């Protein structure tokens, strides 16, 4: 296995190596023994095969030995796993946000980046937050992987021990572009990290995520992405104020996406459908209150300011 780059790597590698070598020993041993037996006890002409009854000695051995091996596997696995759930005091905290289909890392005070940048030799706790569906954050070089589940507070921690760039994957199938949900962990020395953080621009903090919560509640995000990806309907991020070609019953026309258009699109969605998308959305008239619609529209409006 490639070399680990965190304090947790040694424990994981030990368990992995133990299981790997035991497995290799038995697959070679059993196959070899089987081939040997095939030749040694091949049927000979005019000879009756010998008959056996059970053997207590053999049965005790083939129960005891595998039990001991399995318990040892558990022991090494547990030893590697236990420290992963015990976050040391004073660890720096970063929010790791998963959404269809990208990772974003939040260092506090509105500072966010798409790559995880960290100082070497410092304990880091990642708070795992999902904005939509189940994801899983995996950084193989650090030997860490944890599920990122909406509404559930999960975390992982590690101490990067080597400078360099390491791959980040999503390892829970989360839809169309799951395999493209990639990022990098960049480990810098502490001076370079401090400089990077100081130069990182503050992303506009959005006024309220209430609108987003309402959009989730009403299943808007089942068909519309907030990442620019095309799902069933057009993506909803950064659209406010933009021009768009729509199809109406009397032909195509160009409209500006303003508050009025967004509201019309919720109440009578099939009157003006963005070109290239099917007219399949249900009306939310009477389903969502005017007040809630306003909150969702406000949220979409704020999304434009980046
Ligand atoms: Cu994912």
For residue 164, the CA-to-ligand 1 centroid distance in Å is 24
**CA 36 – ligand 1 centroid, Å:** 49
Residue 1 lies in a domain: no
| 204 within domain boundaries | no
214 and 293: one domain?
A: yes
Distance 231 CA to ligand 1 centre (A): 15
Domain match, 116 and 178 both = yes
Please tell me whether residues 105 and 77 are part of one structural domain: no
List pLDDT tens digits, range 179-191. 999 999 999 999 9
Q: What's the rounded mean pLDDT across residues 144-158?
A: 94
* 199, 221, 245 - which closes a domain: 199
Ligand 1: distance of its center to the CA of 47 in Å?
A: 64
Residue 112, in any domain of the structure: yes
Tell whether 116 and 137 lie within a shared domain.
yes
Final residue of a structural domain among 153, 172, 199:
199
Whether residue 203 has pLDDT greater than 80: no
State residue 47's pLDDT score.
Answer: 77
pLDDT score recorded for residue 142 = 96
Q: How far is the CA of 127 from the centre of ligand 1 (A)?
A: 16
Q: Are residues 158 and 257 in the same domain?
A: no
- Establish if 205 belongs to a structural domain: no
pLDDT of residue 225: 86
Ligand 1 center from residue 179 Cα (angstroms): 8
Please indicate, yes or no, if residue 24 is contained in any of the structural domains. yes
Label residue 306 by pLDDT band (50, 70, 90).
very low
What's the domain count of the chain?
Answer: 3
Say whether both 76 and 100 belong to one domain: no
Q: Are residues 228 and 268 in the same domain?
A: yes
Residue 304: what pLDDT? 55
In this structure, the answer to whether residues 292 and 247 fall within a common structural domain is yes
Would you say residue 289 lies in a domain? yes
Q: Are residues 226 and 262 in the same domain?
A: yes
What pLDDT was estimated at residue 302? 77
96 & 193 share domain: yes
Rounded distance from Cα 244 to ligand 1 centre (Å): 29
| pLDDT for 208 | 59
Same domain for 183 and 229: no
Q: How high does pLDDT run on average in the chain?
A: 90
**pLDDT score at 1:** 58
pLDDT in tens, 76-135: 999 999 999 999 999 999 999 999 889 999 998 788 999 999 999 999 999 999 988 999
Claim to verify: residue 99 and residue 193 sit in the same structural domain: yes
- Domain membership of residue 187 (yes or no) is yes
Instruction: Please give the distance, rounded to the nearest whole angstrom, from the Cα atom of residue 114 to the centre of ligand 1.
Output: 14
| More confident: 167 or 303 | 167
Distance 32 CA to ligand 1 centre (A): 43
Query: What range does the domain containing 78 cover?
Result: 9-42+53-85
In the chain, what percentage of residues exceed pLDDT 70?
97
Domain-terminating residue out of 174, 199, 224: 199
Q: What is the pLDDT of residues 250-283, one digit of tens each?
A: 889 999 999 899 999 999 999 999 998 998 898 9
How far is the centre of ligand 1, averaged over its atoms, from the C-alpha of 136 (Å)?
A: 6
Q: Separation of 291 CA from ligand 1 center, angstroms?
A: 32
Do the domain assignments include residue 4?
no
CA 234 – ligand 1 centroid, Å: 20
| Mean pLDDT along residues 59-64 | 95
CA distance 277 to 252: 13
């Amino acid at each position: 296995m490639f070399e680990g780059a965190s304090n947790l790597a040694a424990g994981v590698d030990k368990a992995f190596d133990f299981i790997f070598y035991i497995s290799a020993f038995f697959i070679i041993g059993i196959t070899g023994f089987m081939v040997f037996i095939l030749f040694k006890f091949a049927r000979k002409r005019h000879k009756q095969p010998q008959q056996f009854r059970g053997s207590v000695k053999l049965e005790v051995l083939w129960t005891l030995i595998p039990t001991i091996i399995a318990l040892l596997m558990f022991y090494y696995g547990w030893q590697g796993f236990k420290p992963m759930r015990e976050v040391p005091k004073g660890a720096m905290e970063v929010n790791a946000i998963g959404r269809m289909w990208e990772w974003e890392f939040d260092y506090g005070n509105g500072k966010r980046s798409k790559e995880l940048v960290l100082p070497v030799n410092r304990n880091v706790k990642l708070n795992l937050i999902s904005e939509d569906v189940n994801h899983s954050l995996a950084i193989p070089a650090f030997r860490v992987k944890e599920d990122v589940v909406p509404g559930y507070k999960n975390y992982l921690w590690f101490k990067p021990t080597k400078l360099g760039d390491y791959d980040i994957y999503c390892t829970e199938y989360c839809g169309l572009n799951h395999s493209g949900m990639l990022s990098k962990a960049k480990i810098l020395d502490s001076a370079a990290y401090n400089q990077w953080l100081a130069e990182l621009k503050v992303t506009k903090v959005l006024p309220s995520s209430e609108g987003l919560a309402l959009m989730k509640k009403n299943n808007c995000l089942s068909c519309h992405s907030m990442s620019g990806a095309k799902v069933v309907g057009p993506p909803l991020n950064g659209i406010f104020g933009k021009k768009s070609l729509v199809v109406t019953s009397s032909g195509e026309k160009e409209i500006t996406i303003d508050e009025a258009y967004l509201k019309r699109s919720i109440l009578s969605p099939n009157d003006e459908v963005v070109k290239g998308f099917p007219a399949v959305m249900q009306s939310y008239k009477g389903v969502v209150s005017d007040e809630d619609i306003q909150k969702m529209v406000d949220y979409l409006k704020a999304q434009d300011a980046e």
